[in-house]
Every structure is written in structure tokens, then in C-alpha cells.
Amino acid sequence: MQYAWYYWTGIQGRGEFVRLALEDAGADYVDMARVHGDAVMQPFLDGHSEGAQPFAPPFLKAGRQVIAQVAAILDFLGPTLDLVPQAASRRMQALQLQLTIADLVAEVHDTHHPIAASKYYEDQKTEARARAAAMRDERLPKFLGYFEQVLKANGGRHPLREHSYVDLSLFQLLSGLDYMFPRRMRALWPRLPLLRALKDRVEQRPGIAAYLASERRLAFNTNGIFRHYPELDGEK
């Protein structure tokens, strides 16, 4: 099946978690906004196209189905792309982990936009400094320590004991945090050897390595979720 993939052009954001799954599996997909422009998404957002109406990108069209929300898209794609174990209990575990990743991603966004997403970062820099300090000191160790424990409990290499979309999402999460908080992550990495090894392994997977070297992979920038503002980083 050929998938129609919808996400904003020029933004390295939540959609990248799905794109990595499509690329890793060698899926046949068309990046609709890059081909036709961002306006191609508007009929779906206005409820004028067949399928369920999404609130916002990213969303995926598979036949007549329209699936939105990163975790829901990955749960849908996982069995078809062989990126999740077949057992229902393992698929549920994958979804649980993906939703936990989504929780952290939401907190990452709110670090640089703690007051309102509609306001520029420059309009909330004072509040962002306080939020970033709490993120670095409290939230990152808590979330990343949890994922390190999950890896250890499941043999050390994969959260689900075999390769899955969760591995890919952890790679994207860790890559983004490395970009956003380079000083803090340097201090945290010694506590996270299993996560560091997972990140390195995913980066070397054939489909991912080819994607990362291609023009399809957008660099992290200050238009996405993971934004590097030096004043928000620190070793502690």
C-alpha cells in the first residue's frame, strides 16, 4: 500500500517520529505537503475530505482511512510494517511507551513556550528559563531514567526485546534532546549507557542511515519541537 503522509514543510517536529518508521521499514509513501505544498492539508483540517477529521498534522491517509496523532499512527502502522510484536499485550506495551514519549515531547515544547504556544519565545524568555531549569534538573532524569530501566528489564537492547517503532522514537527523542540541551545531556549520558547504545544502533540501521544522509531529513532548528537556545541549557 502507498501511504499519503501529511506534515508541515520545513518543520522538524512531531511528524519525524512517524517518518522514521516509514523510512526504517522502506514503506511506499508520498510526502504530500512537500510535493503539493502545505495547503494540501487544509481540506482534511476543515473536515471536507473523506475519513476522520484530524485536529492538526501529522496525519496519515491509508486507503480511505485517515489517522492522526503520532502514537495512533504508529500503532496503526506497526503491525503492517513489522515494527511491533504481534502479541496484543506487547502491542499495548509499545503504545504505552510511545505515549510516555509523547508526554515528554509535550514538556519539551512547553520548555520554550511555557506561557502560550501562540506567543514567540522572545515574549516568554524569563518564564522559559525557569521552566528549562526544572526540565534539566527534574524531568529529564525522571523520564530518561525510566526508559533506561525499561531497557534493562527487557535485556538491554530493545524496550520490547526486539526492534520496534519505540526504538526509533527513542532515537528521535534522544537526538532532539542532544541538540536542545547538549551540555545537560553530556552530564546525563554516563547514567544512561543502554539508551546511548540504542541511539547508536538505530543510527546505523540501513534505512535510517540512508535517510539521515538524504535531503529528506531536516536538520533540527528553531521551528520545531527541539530547539537549542543556549540560555536554556546547563550542566545541571
pLDDT tens per residue across span 131-156: 999 999 999 999 999 999 999 999 99
Nearest to 133 by CA among 157, 161, 112: 112
Mean pLDDT on 202-220 = 96
Q: Measure the CA–CA gap between 20 and 98, rounded to whole angstroms.
A: 14
Mean pLDDT on 20-35 = 97
H runs (alpha helix) in the chain: 15-24, 32-36, 42-45, 70-80, 88-112, 125-134, 140-153, 165-180, 182-188, 193-203, 206-212
Average pLDDT over all residues of the chain: 96
User: Residue 227: is its pLDDT beyond 90?
Assistant: yes
Encode pLDDT of 64-118 as tens digits: 999 999 999 999 999 999 999 999 999 999 999 999 999 999 999 999 999 999 9
pLDDT tier, 3 (very low <50, low <70, confident <90, very high otherwise): very high
Scan for cell 541511539, then name that residue. Answer: 199
pLDDT tier, 1 (very low <50, low <70, confident <90, very high otherwise): confident
- The percent of residues above 90 in pLDDT, for the chain, comes to 96
